[in-house]
Copies of this chain bind each other. A is one copy, B any other.
């Protein structure tokens, strides 16, 4: 399978698609900056009286439950249902699912009431949503657990599932991919997963094969992370370098992509 990373990156830069975020307070600034650095246009809007209007002019809608409250959940659902009506694709990041019942149930409720196109989370979050069918078999089988979790969720909800970790796993229920790019530095800053969501969402805006756009987002973010980590091993400097490197992605960059597609 040929993936036209750079062509889709150029589409983002040329069309500057509006990426409507309802995301958490912690990352709003850096998520907006990562989205801009990539070439898309971020907007944050969470009030019920305006989310229908906002999502209707957006090219993609990104829900992130990293800091929740009841009013925000109402707005996520309303905006998500509107996105579905308007054929605006939806990405959900179920941050903290599994950690509290409130987050797990909120993620499940969104998955039930909104047609989600891409569901992206770390292994723990995704396993809490996949349910009993997935058994983590210990540290040595993280890889197989990632694939299994992604496939289970993809089939269960009819979406593209992205399970992040040392390797990232993507499945749409038929096709699956392993992304071997990335850096340990992501674990030393806050919001790496949330920012990845913004990058994948931006690719979803220009490529409606969401299995492919998820891979494109992962490759872009992870390679930029590798390049930033090559500049610095310090977390404050890494955050700045990551935003810089996202803006520097180019045709050559994607030669570094280590992706295996099944």
Binding site for B on A (CB under 8 A): 24-30, 32-33, 36-37, 42-47, 49-50, 53-54, 57, 66-71, 96, 99-103, 187-191, 234-237, 239-244, 247-248
Contact = CB atoms under 8 A, between A and B. Distances in A.
A235 B33 CA distance: 8
B44 A68 contact: no
The quantity of this chain's copies bound in the complex is 3
A70 B71 CA distance: 11
B96 A69 contact: no
A99 B50 CA distance: 9
Nearest to A236: B243
A25 B44 contact: yes
B43 A96 contact: yes
B234 A237 contact: no
Given A29-B29, A236-B37, A69 B53 contact: no
B191 A102 contact: no
A47 B29 contact: no
A26 B239 CA distance: 17
Contact of A100 (B50, B70, B242): B50
Given A25-B28, A37-B188, A42-B190, 12 more contacts: A26-B28, A32-B190, A33-B235, A33-B239, A36-B188, A36-B235, A43-B96, A54-B100, A234-B243, A234-B248, A236-B242, A236-B244
Given A36-B190, A188-B247, A236-B33, A68 B50 contact: yes
Nearest to A26: B28
A190 B29 contact: yes
A103 B50 contact: yes
Given A27-B29, A67-B44, A101-B53, A239 B241 contact: no
Contact of A33 (B32, B102, B190, B243): B190
Contacts of A190: 29, 32-33, 36, 42
Pick the most buried of A46, A68, A96, A190: most chain B CB atoms within 10 A of its CB. A190
Contacts of A69: 46-47, 71
A50 B50 CA distance: 26
Contact of A24 (B33, B44, B241): B44
Pick the most buried of A27, A47, A101, A244: most chain B CB atoms within 10 A of its CB. A47
Contacts of A32: 26, 190-191
A42 B236 CA distance: 16
Given A29-B190, A100-B54, A247-B188, A67 B42 contact: no
